[in-house]
Chain A
């Protein structure tokens, strides 16, 4: 059973299937059909709802995709859907007056994203409207009126004392593990248990591959896996820290990390997806790992009470294979703070700038002392079956004069470092070519603007 608040009302519902989605529950059980299914994979935002959790004496709201949100993940939380707004919220009025809907199917999702922004929901504070709705697809309007409506809606923080009290009094009923220790014990006893954090990837196994997950454990709410520890030495992120929660701290490590996070999914995906989950699932592209590897990140794995720490690049063994023992789980990742003066550049190349998976992701961390490259860490995603460093390229840089000639040699050395993928995101030839060009661009950017996004 789970217990949650819908428009302030406590609802208890039995959950015989832990992979039943919130979207289906809303639409086919409660018949709240305003929330739409556009893709059932978290890529269109038509199913956007707001989840509320207690944060001190206020409620922290976050927009998420209901289509890949499993019912147990609602436990102990507050839920708002488009029906909660009653049709008269300023967001809704502005969208009508500015002709922000045509077919109307995506509209409830936009309403919820923009409503979330207006109340300062997670991942939207100080964020331009375009970024807030980058996870909402509209095929009719061309977005102009929706952007204009979003700009026009006044910010209005909500203070709902009754809801805060109700949420404070609400007791979760599903029996999620309460701590990392409990999780460790559970996995030691039942190593076959499927770990679900944000479900932005696992959700698709259910909705698209129609897989049965077997025994599951939901770890997204384990408080001591959600810690963010920011020190002068670096940043430690618990396994279930979500992208949106880590973004500002990552941006403080280096602005490119913040920009990389901005381009991972939409707000809804960043509000659910965890950096630990992205690492643990071992995607060959890896949204974050190339950047973290270049920065020298270390991963801490835990099995029972045993912990081991390894360089992130060593975790990825081969396509779909990670260095993870039965019963072991990712506990945290630590990223050292780059020393001042390091040249760091992280570049994501994709067909579409927002909410796309990179064809190539390149990350460079160079320390240049007295015109000589003293240290070079170079990592790429999309260039091999796993995110990986480029030893040949690093060797061609290290100890050499920081010059166009060195960069050219390093660019050419990449050819021996990788045997890239050849798939729908790009041919192997393109990936080889553009990876080398990213190094050349790193040199060129000292002299002139190089990015179409910022140039």
Chain B
């Protein structure tokens, strides 16, 4: 590894310290338990879904005779066996656990096999004789737009008169950008284990970001009450949004088998099946029409976003909303119209993925910046700076005032520290001296809105138990998928009690500890749960303080001694805490309001090199400056920044989802779907947390959310590649480069550019 610089602010106190992940020692020892690692009770049944082989079709018959007769098969269940509602869809109840009359897309489950081994179940699941009448399949964005296949009417967000501003602008440009989707590729595939209890109760261990939703869906599926179903999550082997809604089907299938057989049931998805069955980041098309002045300052803009949502609603409406919310990124759009199409296709139902539509919206406006710069022959960074939010230019397209705009400062600091101007000259010199290899450089900012845009989801609960020996048991509604939520919240609690971090024991997230929780999503985990846990801890802390105040010599007591005495004095040592994000509101009918409590900011400078004969490319250097407010844990936050950047880079470069014309995913394995490896990491990466960061809003210890925003720093890679392609044919304007930038797309963009008339 050539170079790696990480600057981490070191601060004193239980919070703001770079403590290791709470499970790090278990991770490296191989003793951190995931769902499939848990002991299996005697007679455990192993499940496999029978999947639709073809795409959109009428389902006319399923003959399961051979499946039932296969070795090891104990039972097979279809939609007819579901006692309650055949649904695992979170909001719109349109996701069938098993298809009934219509197959919506390839990979849709038709039935589940319960067998004595996973292999027996999988072998049997392929033996069904399925009769279908194929129906026409809409697969691409273009096909769905043409057919008017939309999940809801197109949404329109506007401020000012975009059409008039466009008409009156000195310069006007239009263009299109296509962006592929992204497979989550959590290393731990979807998995669940369900165990029968008494009176039909069920305990489910699920690899899910949303235990409460899994609980509620299972109850409805089985005709039970929520109190009959407990869902537990200790940790996931990665989630990234892919286990927010899409874990439910696996957990529900296990619960159904438990309800039907009385036996323990487990499912773990084969990687290829997982990739074929579960939704991904939405692919988008963005069309823009922009008017601007001679300095590149936007006067009016119209942006149309079209998202491939797949066969069901899932979270696509909120995801498309968030794409609209981020089509401004850091830029003031004086007169703006954003139209969003949510396209229903006969492909797997796309779902949450780190950024939740934000990255696609942001890609659109960053492409506009590059287009304006290419047209005017300006430095793209100058165009970006000319368009930033600022005093008097501070209202978003959804009419929220940007009160915490630190983007200009962060951009200026990064441009200075990473030597943008000199490196831009060096890149130009390199390009002048090389015919085959071309370099590109880009600095792009990020502004990401923090809060669930569905307002009621912005709540969290926590349960803190203090034992008489002074040890502390912490529980809250957030789930651990690797992001370090548990250690951060434990730090908050340790800080609240003034005890060492080792005193606080984090535990599995369980629906019987904290009810009605929101998904661990939207980067909100530590904001919401940290605050709830702090409140629970402070409740107990205040009781202890009050008790101690009346006790002579209590200032000499250890925390354990204090707890022991408080217990003897019959002071309650458990408490719940609750937090609901203040200030936020949103009217979806008019697309106006304050959907976000605050914004997280960052900026990245990426330098790339391409081979103009093969389209191969490499990211050679990256500099990042990112705002996490006052970091709760700089080590964890740096990990989120670095990992998020590389994941975003993968989305925009090597990760290509290929579907056939019936909607089958052809790249359904790591052999064909290529996430970054260690050698794809840029040889030089310098990552710094913005030292002056401090949340203007009174969030937990003035920190900021960090899960999603850094992913969008990787847009700098896409812009840098655009610059490098442009350098292959200087003076020809903006290349038509789409994402992901496979060598094939880069070469095609070079060819198209060179073929243009001067």
Measured CB to CB, the residues of A under 8 A from B are: 27, 31-41, 43-44, 46, 81-83, 85-87, 91-92, 95-97, 99-108, 111, 128-131, 133-134, 136-148, 151, 208, 210, 347, 349-357, 359, 423-427, 430, 433-434, 437-438, 440-441, 444, 448-453, 455
Q: Check B23–A104 contact: CB distance below 8 A.
A: yes
Q: Which B residue sits closest to A110, measured CB to CB?
A: B28
A91 to B743, CA, bound (A): 36
**What residues of chain A lie closer than 8 Å to B672, measured between beta carbons?**
357, 424-425
A70 to B678, CA, bound (A): 28
* Residue interface mask B622-664, A partner, CB < 8 A = 1: 0000000000000110110011111100000010101000000
A108 to B667, CA, bound (A): 26
Q: Check A102–B484 contact: CB distance below 8 A.
A: yes
A108 to B747, CA, bound (A): 39
Q: Contacts A33-B37, A142-B646 given: A95-B24 contact, CB under 8 Å?
A: yes
* Residue interface mask B176-201, A partner, CB < 8 A = 1: 00000000111111000000000000
Q: Check B271–A39 contact: CB distance below 8 A.
A: yes
Q: Contacts A102-B483, A430-B744 given: A450-B123 contact, CB under 8 Å?
A: no
Q: Check A434–B614 contact: CB distance below 8 A.
A: yes
A426 to B674, CA, bound (A): 14
CB distance from A436 to the nearest CB of B (A): 9
Q: Check A41–B671 contact: CB distance below 8 A.
A: yes
Q: Check B29–A82 contact: CB distance below 8 A.
A: yes
Instruction: Flag whether B436 is at the interface (Cβ < 8 A).
Output: yes
Q: Check A130–B28 contact: CB distance below 8 A.
A: no
**What residues of chain B lie closer than 8 Å to A143, measured between beta carbons?**
646, 676-678, 681
Q: Which B residue sits closest to A35, measured CB to CB?
A: B30
Q: Check A355–B677 contact: CB distance below 8 A.
A: yes
Q: Which A residue sits closest to B24, measured CB to CB?
A: A96
Instruction: Flag whether B506 is at the interface (Cβ < 8 A).
Output: no
B interface residues, how many (CB within 8 angstroms): 92
Main secondary structure of the interface of A (DSSP, over half): loop
A27 to B24, CA, bound (A): 21
Q: Check A99–B24 contact: CB distance below 8 A.
A: yes
A27 to B638, CA, bound (A): 33
Q: Contacts A103-B235, A141-B643 given: A449-B434 contact, CB under 8 Å?
A: yes
CB distance from A261 to the nearest CB of B (A): 15
* Residue interface mask B710-754, A partner, CB < 8 A = 1: 000000000000000000000000000000001110011001000
Q: Check B674–A356 contact: CB distance below 8 A.
A: yes
Q: Check B272–A208 contact: CB distance below 8 A.
A: yes
User: With contacts A96-B20, A351-B656, A425-B672 known, what are 13 further pairs, Cβ within 8 A?
Assistant: A36-B187, A41-B272, A96-B25, A102-B21, A103-B187, A103-B236, A130-B678, A134-B678, A137-B670, A146-B678, A147-B678, A210-B123, A352-B680
Q: Check A147–B28 contact: CB distance below 8 A.
A: no
**What residues of chain A lie closer than 8 Å to B21, measured between beta carbons?**
99, 101-102, 104
CB distance from A98 to the nearest CB of B (A): 9
Q: Check B642–A144 contact: CB distance below 8 A.
A: yes
Q: Contacts A34-B31, A444-B435, A449-B437 given: A104-B680 contact, CB under 8 Å?
A: no
Instruction: Flag whether B228 is at the interface (Cβ < 8 A).
Output: no
Q: Check A96–B654 contact: CB distance below 8 A.
A: no
Q: Check B28–A142 contact: CB distance below 8 A.
A: no
Instruction: Flag whether B258 is at the interface (Cβ < 8 A).
Output: no
Looking at the complex, which one of B186, B436, B645, B647 makes contact with A103 (CB distance below 8 Å)?
B186
Q: Check A137–B677 contact: CB distance below 8 A.
A: yes
Looking at the complex, which one of B27, B268, B610, B656 makes contact with A452 (CB distance below 8 Å)?
B610
A44 to B236, CA, bound (A): 17
Q: Check A111–B748 contact: CB distance below 8 A.
A: no
CB distance from A84 to the nearest CB of B (A): 10
Q: Contacts A426-B744, A452-B616 given: A444-B436 contact, CB under 8 Å?
A: yes
A279 to B654, CA, bound (A): 28
CB distance from B675 to the nearest CB of A (A): 6
Count of chain A to chain B residue pairs whose CB atoms are closer than 8 Å in the complex: 286
Q: Contacts A46-B187, A434-B614, A444-B435 given: A148-B1 contact, CB under 8 Å?
A: yes
**What residues of chain B lie closer than 8 Å to A108, measured between beta carbons?**
27-28, 30
**What residues of chain A lie closer than 8 Å to B545, measured between beta carbons?**
none
CB distance from B403 to the nearest CB of A (A): 31
Q: Which A residue sits closest to B123, measured CB to CB?
A: A210
Q: Which A residue sits closest to B612, measured CB to CB?
A: A437
A425 to B642, CA, bound (A): 28
Q: List 15 A-B contacts (CB under 8 A).
A: A36-B237, A41-B671, A99-B24, A101-B21, A103-B186, A107-B28, A107-B30, A139-B186, A140-B643, A143-B681, A147-B678, A352-B654, A357-B672, A437-B747, A452-B616
**What residues of chain A lie closer than 8 Å to B611, measured between beta carbons?**
441, 450-452, 455
**What residues of chain A lie closer than 8 Å to B614, measured between beta carbons?**
347, 349, 434, 437-438, 441
Main secondary structure of the interface of B (DSSP, over half): loop
A29 to B635, CA, bound (A): 38
Q: Contacts A102-B484, A452-B618 given: A83-B30 contact, CB under 8 Å?
A: yes
Q: Contacts A99-B639, A141-B643, A452-B618 given: A41-B669 contact, CB under 8 Å?
A: yes
**What residues of chain B lie closer than 8 Å to A106, measured between beta carbons?**
187, 237
Q: Check A140–B639 contact: CB distance below 8 A.
A: yes
A5 to B256, CA, bound (A): 42
B457-513 with Cβ < 8 A to chain A: 481-484
**What residues of chain B lie closer than 8 Å to A104, measured between beta carbons?**
21, 23-24, 26-27, 32, 235, 237, 482
**What residues of chain B lie closer than 8 Å to A38, measured between beta carbons?**
187-189, 271, 670
**What residues of chain B lie closer than 8 Å to A352, measured between beta carbons?**
654, 674, 676-677, 680
**What residues of chain B lie closer than 8 Å to A43, measured between beta carbons?**
669-671
Q: Contacts A138-B187, A139-B240, A142-B681 given: A453-B618 contact, CB under 8 Å?
A: yes
A122 to B220, CA, bound (A): 54
**What residues of chain A lie closer than 8 Å to B26, measured between beta carbons?**
104
CB distance from B273 to the nearest CB of A (A): 10
A226 to B34, CA, bound (A): 40
**What residues of chain B lie closer than 8 Å to A95, measured between beta carbons?**
24, 27-28
Q: Check A134–B238 contact: CB distance below 8 A.
A: no
CB distance from B18 to the nearest CB of A (A): 8
CB distance from A433 to the nearest CB of B (A): 7
Q: Check B238–A452 contact: CB distance below 8 A.
A: no
Instruction: Flag whether B367 is at the interface (Cβ < 8 A).
Output: no
Looking at the complex, which one of A87, A139, A142, A455 makes contact with B238 (CB distance below 8 Å)?
A139
Q: Check A33–B30 contact: CB distance below 8 A.
A: yes
**What residues of chain B lie closer than 8 Å to A151, measured between beta carbons?**
1
**What residues of chain A lie closer than 8 Å to B187, measured between beta carbons?**
36, 38, 44, 46, 103, 105-106, 137-139
Looking at the complex, which one of A129, A134, A210, A354 makes contact with B122 (CB distance below 8 Å)?
A210
Q: Which B residue sits closest to A21, measured CB to CB?
A: B119
Q: Which B residue sits closest to A44, measured CB to CB?
A: B670
Q: Contacts A452-B611, A455-B609 given: A134-B677 contact, CB under 8 Å?
A: yes
**What residues of chain A lie closer than 8 Å to B675, measured between beta carbons?**
137, 139
Q: Check B671–A357 contact: CB distance below 8 A.
A: yes
Instruction: Flag whether B6 is at the interface (Cβ < 8 A).
Output: yes
**What residues of chain B lie closer than 8 Å to A140, measured between beta carbons?**
238, 482, 639, 643
Q: Check A102–B743 contact: CB distance below 8 A.
A: no
Q: Check A145–B639 contact: CB distance below 8 A.
A: yes
**What residues of chain B lie closer than 8 Å to A46, measured between beta carbons?**
187
Q: Check A105–B34 contact: CB distance below 8 A.
A: yes
* 6 residue pairs, one from A and one from B, having the closest CB atoms: A34-B30, A103-B482, A105-B237, A104-B27, A87-B29, A142-B646
Looking at the complex, which one of B188, B239, B638 makes contact with A36 (CB distance below 8 Å)?
B188
Instruction: Flag whether B613 is at the interface (Cβ < 8 A).
Output: yes
**What residues of chain A lie closer than 8 Å to B34, measured between beta carbons?**
36, 105
**What residues of chain A lie closer than 8 Å to B681, measured between beta carbons?**
130, 142-144, 147
Instruction: Flag whether B456 is at the interface (Cβ < 8 A).
Output: no
CB distance from B718 to the nearest CB of A (A): 16
Q: Which A residue sits closest to B436, measured CB to CB?
A: A450
Looking at the complex, which one of B4, B636, B666, B674 makes contact with A148 (CB distance below 8 Å)?
B4
A208 to B275, CA, bound (A): 13
Q: Which A residue sits closest to B647, measured CB to CB?
A: A139
Q: Check B639–A141 contact: CB distance below 8 A.
A: yes
Instruction: Flag whether B33 is at the interface (Cβ < 8 A).
Output: yes
**What residues of chain B lie closer than 8 Å to A426, measured between beta carbons?**
744
